[in-house]
Amino acid sequence: MARGRHPSRLYIDPPEPQVAKKYLRYWYGGDIIREPDRFPGLTSPDLFGNCNPLEIDFGCGMGVLSCNRAQQSPAINVLGIDVSQKPLFCAINDAHHRGLDNIKFVRGNFNALLPLLKSETVSTAYYLFPNPPHDYFHQRANTGRKRFLETLYSSLVKDGRLVFATDSVDFFKCMEIIITKELNYNLFSLDFDSSGISTWYRNIWESRGKDVMGIAVVKR
């Protein structure tokens, strides 16, 4: 979450300690590399103590989508991941205000958290409006993106979905090529305009007249 407003400029009251204890985990990439067995897997049994379907919002920011999904579908679990603290404070306060018990948040770099994903445990993964890079066509960078998307593919259950969206035409083309040409996904019909998928950034960009582009794919 870096475009339009830098997180350090936001003023957000931190959650009360007992609220933070319920909703938030701080996990650092170096610790995961050194002691991976010390961390729970990114699964419903490990994080929520049940076997409900799990949805993960990578780069959840203010938690608009995460909290909406948790409130709309009490029978699923939702995990929001973001590296920025202040937006997560906003998300946690929102979850607490709504009285949600089926949502948690992790502060950390989601690429560092990938080893904690387990095979066929995620029903839906969202990767919505990340900060567009400027190395769309660099092979090394795209190798990293492909590794991320391959790991997500392995973590999805059969017919699990990946939803990606951006306001950047170049970034969309880059990700579309990797998702549809290089990985074993099936395209899934999604009218993004009427999908009900709302995020803080989607609202900002559309209010400024920007076009947003989305793609949804299903694990074969």
**Alpha carbon distance 43, 48 (integer Å):** 8
Task: Specify the pairing of strand 213-219 against strand 156-166.
Answer: antiparallel
What are φ and ψ of residue 78, in 5° steps?
-125, 135
**Alpha carbon distance 62, 185 (integer Å):** 29
User: Is the pTM value of this prediction over 0.85?
Assistant: yes
**Alpha carbon distance 184, 150 (integer Å):** 9
**Alpha carbon distance 39, 97 (integer Å):** 28
Output b/e per residue, 13-45; b: 16+ Cβ within 10 A: eebeeebbebbbbebebeebeeeeeebeebbbe
SS3 content of the chain, % helix, strand, coil (to 5): 45, 20, 35
Query: In this structure, are residues 187 and 217 in contact, taking their beta carbons and an 8 Å threshold?
Result: yes
Amino acid residing at 111 = N
Could you tell me where the DSSP H helices lie in the chain? 17-23, 29-34, 44-48, 64-72, 85-98, 110-113, 139-155, 169-177, 200-207
The CATH homologous superfamily of the domain defined by 7-219: Vaccinia Virus protein VP39 (3.40.50.150)
- Residue 195 CA, distance from chain mean position: 17
pLDDT by residue for the chain (220 residues), tens only, comes to 444 445 556 678 899 999 999 999 999 888 998 888 899 999 999 999 999 999 999 999 899 999 999 999 999 999 999 999 999 999 999 999 999 999 999 999 888 999 999 999 999 999 998 877 777 666 767 788 889 999 999 999 999 999 998 888 888 888 888 888 888 788 765 555 555 676 666 666 666 777 777 888 888 7
**Alpha carbon distance 9, 147 (integer Å):** 33
Per-domain boundaries in the chain = 7-219
